[in-house]
Structure 1
């Protein structure tokens, strides 16, 4: 199998972290591609009509895309435990929360990098950051016990999301108001899967 991914995409990092956690690195070639919303890589478009990464090219089936689909498929290959039935709705909601933080964070970068300076909209940036801060407040206030529990996909998604915010939006200093979440992230990022997938 081949995973088409970008070096700084938080969604691709999420899949790469799952690959390491499930010990699938020797079965999946991870191929770095360069693609943007305005200019999709032809190889990515050939695999995924939306031209998005990550995309997982399989030899015995259709290409899978969207990190949630890919991660669930990979977990199923090895009978993994990243989607525990005992708390599946909580886990899936936590994954969706992490993914939503990624969506908003990436959208802010696109606004800065894809639009000319005179067309950038501060209101859009503020709205996306408001979504991120509301999600982080919810994590701090309601999700710490789950984050501290057995490893699941929700934790991986949230860790990749928060790490991306620090990587791209670190000047906004989210940590001071959320000390439990900040401490949790520091500990979680010591995992080998997070160390090996850290963007340069």
Structure 2
């Protein structure tokens, strides 16, 4: 298998954590593919027409893309431990979607600050995205701590990668404020070997 990969991508990090946790990393070749929103993604067009990473090339089927699809496929291949069966599956999928929503908003802030010309940047736009992130963190604090503290699931991995990205790119905004339980959980979760091994390089 080949994973089109960038160490700075939080969506790629989700896949890498799953590879570590399920013991499948030795079976995957990492293909460097650092892409931004203005890149054409030409090397990836025949793998993922959207030109985005992560994308997982398989020897026995079409290339998979979108981190949620890849993570679910890898977990199924490893025996289905991270996405439980039964009603609990929907909680895991919802938690993963909430974490990915945090990432979506955080990336919009990143792109606004790093890629748009200074004279057309919108602080109000960035603040609006941060409101969404803080609302999501508050929901994690009030609704999801029992799940986060349970056996490892894909929801936990997704939240861990999302919070890690907030530290990586937006630490000064202080997501931990008002979320002491979530902050304590993350302090423990980010010490997992899979999280340590997949930390992005210094910004």
SS state at 1:176 partner = coil
SS state at 1:51 partner = coil
Task: Give the Å deviation of 1:185.
Answer: 0.3
Please name the residue that 2:31 is paired with.
31
Name the Cα RMSD after superposition: 1.0
Please name the residue that 1:56 is paired with.
56
SS state at 1:83 partner = coil
Summarize deviations over 1:108-149 as a string: whole Å, max 9, x none.
111112211111112211111011000000000110000000
Task: Give the Å deviation of 1:5.
Answer: 1.5
CA contact under 8 A between 1:40 and 1:52: conserved in structure 2? no
TM-score of the pair, normalised by structure 2? 0.96
Please name the residue that 1:101 is paired with.
102
Please name the residue that 2:44 is paired with.
44
Task: Give the Å deviation of 1:45.
Answer: 2.4
Task: Give the Å deviation of 1:176.
Answer: 3.1
Gaps of 5+ in 2: none
Q: Distance in 2 between matches of 1:110 and 1:46?
A: 26
Please name the residue that 1:77 is paired with.
77
1:1-200 to structure 2, matched below 5 A, reads 1-86=1-86, 87-200=88-201
SS state at 1:36 partner = coil
| More displaced 10-residue stretch of structure 1: 54-63 or 28-37 | 28-37
